[in-house]
Chains A and B, each alone.
Chain A
Amino acid sequence: MKQFNIILVIVILLGAVVLSTMGSGTVRDLKSGFLSLVSPFLKTGDAVGRQIGSVGEDLKTLDRLEEENRTLTLENRQLKTTNQLLRDLEAENQKLRQALDYRERSVFQLLPARIIARDSSTWWKSVKINRGFEDGVESDMPVLTESGLVGKTTTVGKNESVVILVTDESCRVAAKVEGTTEKGIASGFRVSDAASLGDIQLAFLSKSANLQPGQKVYSAGVSGGVFPSGILVGEVKSFRVRPLDGQAVLAPAVELDTIEDVFVLVGAK
């Protein structure tokens, strides 16, 4: 091998080592830049896919009616989701009325977004949405639908963001079980066997929890956390006792493989 080639390989490997020492902020910025670069292609692909998918529908319905229906459906879903959050707020408000030194709770704003692509990564479960920092989206913002929790934003580009799904192992949600005092950490399973594919595990429950199938699990809303309380995470499918804790397997509240429209909880109004 020529001396130049050896030096070239060494320089590239040293460059890789230097890159590996970058902090999370720099990596996030680089990823955001890359996301913005590929964004036009993602949007074109999404538009082409939708055009192809809607060919049959266009033959049956008028464009205007379709548009109106889309707007109303979106509005309806937005209202349902807001309602779900308000129910929880109402309960909390009742408790706070009884206390003298209560704190005001923030009111959240729902930003409608559309899934434009599903990531081709093999080990992570994530999607890309058509909202970015120009729309007020930041990293670590909850993403949900009227049915429940979808995940949270990670990398945020100019007009698009990556959302890590609640079924991914690295997306952790403090959760509580309906009708009990049980609390645990909900996260996805690692890709390993077909039985758990697409499910959520709720770990660190007490061994005596004895949860029943069908019980609902909501986000607990811990202080300083990403997710506010009261968002439906999923339903219990099974429960088992492990040596150190109890673990429940949950069916996600949202059909994550088929959803197209979501909302980003962009913070206080």
Chain B
Amino acid sequence: MRAFATFLGVAAAIFLAFPVQDFLPPLGFAHGARILLVPVIFCYGALVLPFPGAMALAAYTGLLCDLAYSHVVDGRVEIAVGWSIVIFVIFGLFAQGFQPAFRRGQWWLHIPFSMVATSLYLALQFVMISFRREGVAFGEVTAWRILGSGLAAGLLSPLVCTVGWWANVSFGSRPGQGGERFARP
């Protein structure tokens, strides 16, 4: 029951993150890299939820990402809906591997995981676009946008962990009562 409540909370946070991140300004020093909240929140959810919950969250997040980001231009879908689900399922599987350490209190694992997941997601998105549009045009700005968003994700990670821990404690989870899974930063 607690896991289900956590799933609902994380799912709601991911949904709200889509409009919120539209209002966050791009990072000027990183050539317009965007601050992406969705992968950071997903990584937190995948680290705290049991396996079925993490996979369901991956399917949900992937679907919303595709609906939010891909465009239908001239009657053509540039990136097929569904590919992000595959990517988030892979991220979720990796997160489950880190979960025991995360539950033991090594909350900082969320930082590198968020950074890598965010950058990797953007890099794969770029590869998909390059295939679709024929021809790779990788440059300085491309690299900055991929790594800059990853860096922002790493900086946001402690905040997301703190809010997650606070929300769980507020809803009755306590260390020693199963609440240790929600590692405190």
Contacts and interface: CB of A to CB of B under 8 A. Distances in A.
Contact of A9 (B16, B18, B89): B89
A161 interface: no
8 contacts: A5-B55, A24-B76, A120-B36, A121-B68, A121-B69, A123-B125, A123-B129, A192-B140
A234 B141 CA distance: 23
B89 A154 contact: no
B85 interface: yes
Interface residues of B, number: 60
A241 interface: no
A89 interface: no
Contact of A193 (B21, B77, B141, B146): B141
Interface string A17-46: 111111010011011001000100110010
B137 A128 contact: no
B178 interface: no
Contacts of B63: 19
Q: For this complex, into which size category does the number of interface residues on chain A fall?
A: 35 or more
Q: Is the interface of B mostly helix, strand, loop or mixed?
A: helix
Contacts of B81: 19-20, 22, 27, 30
Given A16-B59, A24-B75, 16 more contacts: A4-B52, A5-B52, A8-B51, A12-B89, A15-B59, A16-B82, A20-B83, A30-B67, A41-B16, A120-B21, A120-B35, A121-B68, A164-B71, A191-B142, A194-B31, A197-B141
Interface in B37-86: 51-52, 55-56, 58-59, 62-64, 66-78, 80-83, 85-86
A19 B85 contact: yes
A190 B137 contact: yes
Contact of A192 (B20, B66, B83, B141): B141
A41 B19 contact: yes
Contacts of B72: 24, 27-28, 31, 139, 154-155
B64 A34 contact: yes
B108 interface: no
B172 interface: no
Given A8-B55, A9-B55, A24-B76, A197 B22 contact: no
B173 to A, nearest CB: 24
Nearest to B50: A5
Q: Which 7 A-B pairs have the closest CB atoms?
A: A192-B139, A19-B82, A41-B19, A193-B139, A16-B82, A20-B80, A20-B82
Interface string B126-147: 1001100100011111100110
A28 B62 CA distance: 17
B122 interface: yes
Interface string A127-157: 0100000000001100000000000001100
A185 interface: no
A226 to B, nearest CB: 8
A122 interface: yes
B68 A123 contact: no
B58 A12 contact: yes
Nearest to B86: A16
A120 B22 contact: yes
A13 B86 contact: yes
B11 interface: no
B151 to A, nearest CB: 13
A122 B125 contact: yes
Contacts of A169: 133
